[in-house]
Structure 1
């Protein structure tokens, strides 16, 4: 049997940073004329620049060095800020830090830098987005009282500091994916000033990663510069001296700037834009991510009245002609999804979603079985992307089921808040991707209290039991079987309708050389190619 490489991971020695030279065109040209290698990238207005508050932020990823990280050269998960991460039982983990690492202001990175950052993130009353990543830590419940009372402690009991460079983490149950979890931004360290003067720190954050914060002109741009003190090797950073995140509310505006040579990089490029980019920017402008890690879904909150019946959800799913939309609107750069996980994961079982096959007549029969639907199906979505796609889906539901559908577009920050605070009024359309490669990253959304579970609020004790068992299983084949069994149970209730697996493209200028790490395209990893 294949075993997970999770018992002991030890760091390789640090090497030199990426470098490049030459002339420049496009968005990097102005900086390159005076010797500066500058790359610009598409960005939405951040909710915060602190990784724990906005873990998915490209700015946060660039400024933080995790304990573990995927090396883009080896495509393997390796220690970064950690020297080693070891465990005998996948429940208690010993972490040793690299010697001599500092924050960008020169303060040392110590065990306390992690322990205090994790405790603050895990405290529910702080309402930081990274909170859910600590649900498996011993002491998490004490920091997140369910009765609305204030925590009686400000520490995670499962995190024990031994000395400046060594600490120990105890989980509530075995988790063979724990080293992967350590590669996420919400588990970054924080310097002392983040606790002594948090308001000032929010405006001028300091971390330990390859790029350091320079400025944030709200709704305009965020500027980062290469930090010479970063000790990670080539596979953990990029080749630009300066990164400029140019803020857009829609991808179309970003694309216009790229055609005018005023932008270097765009990620999550809509399929509708790919053919246009080929003609206007050339084939070399497209970067195809090697591992499919993303999925479009229509998630249905359990708390929205009128949408509770699984047969109604199946009817909605059956009314959508995925293959037609994939071939026409998405121009072949997507496939219809038939599972809650993408095919790149070991637990994927073809056809696990039986009602994901288009059947207009069967959809109407299923709607009758559900007792019909007299209201209006509201679909909430991010106004900054995929407008045509969500419109096509809603039209098919409306035409093939004969029910009313109303779209509710909004900014991503508002949608995120509505999801996390269970304020949704209908189904929510969105694109989901993993923070690290694991079926748990998708299915934990449907675990009681799991990461992302706030969107649907779905709960099933049998599902919880299977996910807990799979998470702690060290044999990969057995874990995949258990994740598949959990998905089968989830699909009976259908809290989420799988839609599409997109071919994931980025757009790059002549000066940007994009890289991806196991399905995740990160701007700060780009090489400088001019």
Structure 2
């Protein structure tokens, strides 16, 4: 849903957390005025969430970013991806299988009702009981079964609950900063659909107005008393139909913060913005997916064609020419900022540029079933993907001798609806921004059998086994070895085609200060101040 130079180990992070706990449109721009706390309104580029503000339904970056402004979690991440307690007083375990969570006393939702242990247990049970898309986040909890409450969750008292897992997992608390794990007030349980349009806040802001596909207006939540207190007077999120329009507003100081720079401006945007710009890697990867149900992409034929397409792509050339060197060619399925990253995995040669080998493999696939038709890559045109999609398609066309072209959708919501409904009949641009800083989060949700993010339909029992063993590993080195073995299989099967590691290219206007972008590429909006 998403970064930083994350170098701490999972075990080290959990230990630190426990110690801390024990101690206790094209235009549509909006210009901000003064606010009660002395800060002005900060305008920022955003996009339309696909499924409202329902935590268990949010599967894409647009929704994650908005919910992150209006909801708090047990823990949050600082700009480098390290854990900081928010609603949690402590999260401890003697055996790494049964965890005791203490919620800070006195914290309240924006409607004044208390945030309690029950607020979390009820929210998490709802996701699983209602079989919401993010239910897989809880599949390691004891007794997990979609359609039913989780037996492994127990309320102890108003501020304490326990979570029993199926096996010991030392890195379990790292996940709890993701928006799937937010608490819900009782009003949400009565009408979750209405709550999704007008959520009661537990985070730094309250959603006041949502003009779909145009803009969002958020005010400061006076009841929020955590580490992300707003340093401004509120936020206006503006939705653009093109990145060029957003950049033009940024240059004119009509937009305060943008996390996307159009390809056409990458070469000179730092100078054009007089240094008010950032370009840095984050925990994310760009890919495209070819569903294995598509004609010519099933079985051994499909495996040969995926490998051939991957070898036909000159990633280094595209990252230099299209992205002006701001991205690096992918060597695996995770990201360099994740602890244990390995750029020399067996099978990584399938990500090299080798047009001769590509032709050879394509011919072998043709011997099974002769290729016909046009190879297409679908993409959302509102976020600057056309240039690289066209470049990839041209390379596939020239190096394999087939017709290939991009297939544009107006926005991410339109594209994801077809992907998730499994009605899309082409390859499609994908990618992953980490929900939390862990190798598992790049692999399990995307390539585990039946995982919600597994849009290709990929299934490999050995990969599933290795990922489960990695989660239960007693040491970081043991976990890393299991993840490497799983990736060796993935690099041979290529359920998705890794392209390049993600970087955030963003900027801000002359009207704001204290702008930073986090480990997950997102602007840290609560810290932005108006001049």
What's the TM-score once normalised by structure 1's chain length?
Answer: 0.88
Write out per-residue CA displacement over residues 270-293 of structure 1, whole angstroms, 9 at most, x where no aligned residue: 5543224234322x221234x531
Q: Distance in 2 between matches of 1:168 and 1:227?
A: 29
Alignment of 1:235-254 (within 5 A): 236-254=228-246
Count of residues in correspondence between the two structures: 501
- SS of the residue 2:57 aligns to: coil
Q: Distance in 2 between matches of 1:33 and 1:6?
A: 38
Q: Among 297, 308, 314, which residue is 2:287 paired with?
A: 297
Deviation at 1:433, TM superposition (A): 1.1
- Could you tell me whether the CA contact under 8 Å between 2:42 and 2:530 is conserved in 1? no
- Could you tell me whether the CA contact under 8 Å between 1:11 and 1:80 is conserved in 2? no
Q: Indicate the residue corresponding to 2:118 in structure 1.
A: 112
Q: Indicate the residue corresponding to 1:350 in structure 2.
A: 343
Deviation at 1:296, TM superposition (A): 1.0
Deviation at 1:494, TM superposition (A): 1.1
Deviation at 1:456, TM superposition (A): 1.3
Deviation at 1:507, TM superposition (A): 1.4
Deviation at 1:237, TM superposition (A): 4.1
Q: Which segments of 5 or more consecutive residues in structure 1 lack a partner in the other structure? A: 16-26, 144-150
Q: Indicate the residue corresponding to 2:489 in structure 1.
A: 489
Q: Indicate the residue corresponding to 1:38 in structure 2.
A: 41
The change in CA–CA distance for 1:421 and 1:140 in structure 2 (over 3 A counts) is farther
Q: Indicate the residue corresponding to 2:142 in structure 1.
A: 138
Q: Distance in 1 between matches of 2:342 and 2:40?
A: 46
- Could you tell me whether the CA contact under 8 Å between 1:320 and 1:358 is conserved in 2? yes
Q: Indicate the residue corresponding to 1:6 in structure 2.
A: 14
Deviation at 1:117, TM superposition (A): 1.0
Q: Distance in 1 between matches of 2:437 and 2:308?
A: 31
- Could you tell me whether the CA contact under 8 Å between 1:347 and 1:481 is conserved in 2? no
- SS of the residue 1:418 aligns to: helix
Write out per-residue CA displacement over residues 120-144 of structure 1, whole angstroms, 9 at most, x where no aligned residue: 112354x4x4333222223432x2x
Instruction: Please say which of residues 401-410 and 206-215 is displaced more in the overlay.
Output: 401-410
Instruction: Please say which of residues 503-512 and 188-197 is displaced more in the overlay.
Output: 503-512
- Could you tell me whether the CA contact under 8 Å between 2:285 and 2:431 is conserved in 1? yes
- SS of the residue 1:370 aligns to: helix
Q: Distance in 2 between matches of 1:245 and 1:95?
A: 34
Q: Among 332, 337, 343, which residue is 1:339 paired with?
A: 332
Write out per-residue CA displacement over residues 410-437 of structure 1, whole angstroms, 9 at most, x where no aligned residue: 2211222233233331222123110111
Q: Indicate the residue corresponding to 1:407 in structure 2.
A: 406
- SS of the residue 1:89 aligns to: coil
Deviation at 1:10, TM superposition (A): 4.6
**In the alignment, does 2:359 pair up with 1:364?**
yes
Q: Distance in 1 between matches of 2:340 and 2:436?
A: 15
- SS of the residue 1:69 aligns to: strand
- Could you tell me whether the CA contact under 8 Å between 1:264 and 1:512 is conserved in 2? no
Q: Indicate the residue corresponding to 1:422 in structure 2.
A: 422
- SS of the residue 1:292 aligns to: strand
- Could you tell me whether the CA contact under 8 Å between 2:142 and 2:166 is conserved in 1? yes
Q: Distance in 2 between matches of 1:31 and 1:161?
A: 44
Q: Indicate the residue corresponding to 2:98 in structure 1.
A: 92
Alignment of 1:151-162 (within 5 A): 151=147, 153=148, 155-162=149-156
Alignment of 1:300-315 (within 5 A): 300-308=290-298, 309-315=302-308
Q: Distance in 1 between matches of 2:278 and 2:23?
A: 28
Q: Distance in 1 between matches of 2:32 and 2:87?
A: 34
**In the alignment, does 2:69 pair up with 1:62?**
yes
Q: Distance in 2 between matches of 1:85 and 1:326?
A: 42
The change in CA–CA distance for 1:173 and 1:403 in structure 2 (over 3 A counts) is farther
- Could you tell me whether the CA contact under 8 Å between 1:304 and 1:424 is conserved in 2? no
Instruction: Please say which of residues 328-337 and 366-375 is displaced more in the overlay.
Output: 366-375
Deviation at 1:85, TM superposition (A): 0.8
- SS of the residue 2:395 aligns to: helix
Q: Which segments of 5 or more consecutive residues in structure 2 lack a partner in the other structure? A: 1-7
Q: Distance in 2 between matches of 1:14 and 1:206?
A: 30
Q: Distance in 2 between matches of 1:170 and 1:98?
A: 21
Q: Distance in 1 between matches of 2:415 and 2:137?
A: 20
The change in CA–CA distance for 1:200 and 1:170 in structure 2 (over 3 A counts) is same
The change in CA–CA distance for 1:378 and 1:174 in structure 2 (over 3 A counts) is farther
Q: Indicate the residue corresponding to 1:476 in structure 2.
A: 476
Q: Among 368, 376, 379, which residue is 2:377 paired with?
A: 379
Deviation at 1:524, TM superposition (A): 2.6
The change in CA–CA distance for 1:198 and 1:466 in structure 2 (over 3 A counts) is closer
Q: Distance in 1 between matches of 2:266 and 2:428?
A: 25
- Could you tell me whether the CA contact under 8 Å between 2:18 and 2:91 is conserved in 1? yes
Q: Indicate the residue corresponding to 1:273 in structure 2.
A: 265
- Could you tell me whether the CA contact under 8 Å between 1:347 and 1:483 is conserved in 2? no
Q: Distance in 1 between matches of 2:232 and 2:157?
A: 36
- Could you tell me whether the CA contact under 8 Å between 2:32 and 2:43 is conserved in 1? no
Deviation at 1:32, TM superposition (A): 4.2
- SS of the residue 1:9 aligns to: helix
Deviation at 1:211, TM superposition (A): 0.9
Q: Indicate the residue corresponding to 1:101 in structure 2.
A: 107
Q: Once superposed, what is the RMSD of the aligned Cα atoms?
A: 2.5
The change in CA–CA distance for 1:316 and 1:62 in structure 2 (over 3 A counts) is same
- SS of the residue 2:322 aligns to: coil
Deviation at 1:36, TM superposition (A): 4.1
Deviation at 1:469, TM superposition (A): 0.9
Q: Distance in 1 between matches of 2:42 and 2:13?
A: 36
Q: Distance in 1 between matches of 2:73 and 2:380?
A: 29
Q: Indicate the residue corresponding to 1:330 in structure 2.
A: 323
- Could you tell me whether the CA contact under 8 Å between 1:447 and 1:463 is conserved in 2? yes
